Amino acid sequence: MAALPSFPPGFLWGVSTAAYQIEGAVREDGRGPSIWDTFSHTPGRIRDGDTGDVACDHYHRWAQDVELLAELGVSAYRFSIAWPRVQPAGAGPVNGAGLDFYDRLVDALLARGIAPVPTLFHWDLPQALEDAGGWLSRDTSHRFADYAAVVADRIGDRVSRWITLNEPVVHMAQGYAFGTHAPGRMLMMDALPVAHHQLLGHGLAVRALRARGGAEVMITNNCTPVWPAGDDLDAAEVYDAFHNRLFLDPVLRGEYPSFAAEAGFVQDGDMDVIATPMDALGINYYNPTRVKAAPEGAPLPFETVDIEGVPKTAFGWPVVPDGLRELLVGLRERYDELLPPVYVTENGCSTDGSVHDGDRIDYLDGHLRALHAAIEAGADVRGYFVWSLLDNFEWAEGYSQRFGLVHVDYETQRRTPRDSFAWMRAALAEQR
């Protein structure tokens, strides 16, 4: 396979994981329950009845996993901090033992020359906060900022890049609108306050983190190029407003797309908080979305349609590397000088699980070439993180989807680097 083109000097190369997907040890060292514990233990919610109780046992095997990162040669590692380990009830008392875990992890990464990039919220809300309304409640925004401050006070001296939230659109849609993720609510359009309260929490957290030092702060949004099916331009525009603009316009422009602008949950001053300038923007890209108008009377005004004629991942997601270029160039055109530097904070695919994963190598190679083309076309992209280091608990799909550069045998917890791991290691060596 031909060598990748050279990326700019200082470009950050990393992999991403998330706490509930890898840590396990859900009842250890004072961790409180999260909405994912509750949800995964509710019969019928997760494929095969899987839970994150053990996952990759990373809570105990973290040192070995840091060695894998070092072997891979990444310059950064994006992981998430479990709020219920730090504040078991989501507010009030802080659990020192929970913070100790991340403190040790950060030190071990730095000792290997790997920059820690913590995400403060990757969907594992403390159950006690959900019982008080979850992200439907404005109070949760303030609790999130308090928690961000607690974490920063402990590890902020060693962290130079923070991510506040991971994919608020997915948490709102799957968690509160469709009920396919925790907390499993099915509110459809009434889930909208969840967008606002997450964004408000983000803005408050940006301020709390800023007050504690000069690290870069960003949000990570899931973004998708939206393709109209046939000439369904209106449906595509509406979908784009829900999926992309609902979470980008407020943070970058300080305003909601028109459908959400007049909502009663927006209070005076909120938009200024939400638009607190960020140093960067995290983008997770998996695939474009093709959209058509929904039939009259449907609960939502759009429907997604299969993208035909392209390869699919094991998950059935369409593989469209050029969608990453289209997305990044499109964001640049849409937001112009309001767009800060971008990090691609997740990109990757699930495969059949074999350690010989040529399909993952093709996927990564194609997306990195598309990313390079976007940079050539003027997109200011500073880093790229593969999802994921390890096979892990893929939310509603349990352990059935394998996204890792490293295979995990869940019986023995044995880690086996896949062919894609060797490919990535060689590609990173070349970039240095």
Phi and psi angles of residue 386, each rounded to the nearest 5 degrees, phi first: -80, 135
**346 in active site:** yes
Nearer to ligand FCB, 13 or 36 (CB): 36
Q: Is the CA virtual torsion 23, 26, 29, 30 positive or negative?
A: positive
Catalytic residue of the set 23, 130, 326, 346 = 346
- By the 8 A CB rule, do 291 and 304 touch? yes
Phi and psi angles of residue 263, each rounded to the nearest 5 degrees, phi first: -60, 140
Q: From the CA atom positions of the chain, what is the Rg in Å?
A: 20
Nearer to ligand FCB, 256 or 387 (CB): 387
Nearer to ligand FCB, 95 or 345 (CB): 345
**Of residues 194-233, which lie at the interface with ligand FCB (CB under 6 A)?**
222
**Of residues 141-200, which lie at the interface with ligand FCB (CB under 6 A)?**
166-167, 170
Catalytic residue of the set 130, 167, 326, 394 = 167
Nearer to ligand FCB, 166 or 431 (CB): 166
The single residue among 162, 302, 387, 421 that binds ligand FCB, judged by CB under 6 A, is: 387
Tell me: does residue 50 bind ligand FCB (CB under 6 A): no
| β-strands 342-346, 281-284 pairing | parallel
The minimum distance between CB 21 and ligand FCB, in angstroms, equals 6
- By the 8 A CB rule, do 50 and 393 touch? yes
Half-sphere exposure (Cβ direction) of 306: Cα atoms closer than 13 Å: 6
Terminal-to-terminal C-alpha distance of the chain: 18
The single residue among 239, 395, 421, 423 that binds ligand FCB, judged by CB under 6 A, is: 395
What amino acid is encoded at 315 in this protein? F
**Of residues 261-300, which lie at the interface with ligand FCB (CB under 6 A)?**
284
The minimum distance between CB 395 and ligand FCB, in angstroms, equals 6
In the shown chain, the binding pattern of residues 18 to 37 toward ligand FCB, with x for contact by CB under 6 A and - for none, equals x--x----------------
The minimum distance between CB 159 and ligand FCB, in angstroms, equals 20
The single residue among 37, 124, 130, 346 that binds ligand FCB, judged by CB under 6 A, is: 346
Strands (E), 70-204: 76-80, 115-121, 161-166
Nearest to 328 by CA among 273, 274, 277, 384: 384
- Distance between CA 339 and CA 331 in Å, rounded? 8
The minimum distance between CB 408 and ligand FCB, in angstroms, equals 15
- Distance between CA 195 and CA 270 in Å, rounded? 13
Instruction: Determine the size of the site formed for ligand FCB (CB under 6 A).
Output: 12
Candidates 81-89, 263-271, 294-302, 387-395; binding stretch for ligand FCB (CB under 6 A):
387-395
Task: State the residue for tokens 């514990």.
Answer: 37
Nearest to 141 by CA among 176, 88, 191, 91: 91
The single residue among 403, 408, 418, 424 that binds ligand FCB, judged by CB under 6 A, is: 403
| Element (DSSP H or E) covering residue 302 | strand 302-305
The minimum distance between CB 143 and ligand FCB, in angstroms, equals 22
Q: What is the DSSP letter of 318?
A: B
User: Annotated active-site positions, please?
Assistant: 167, 346
Name the residues that contact ligand FCB, by CB under 6 A: 18, 21, 166-167, 170, 222, 284, 346, 387, 394-395, 403
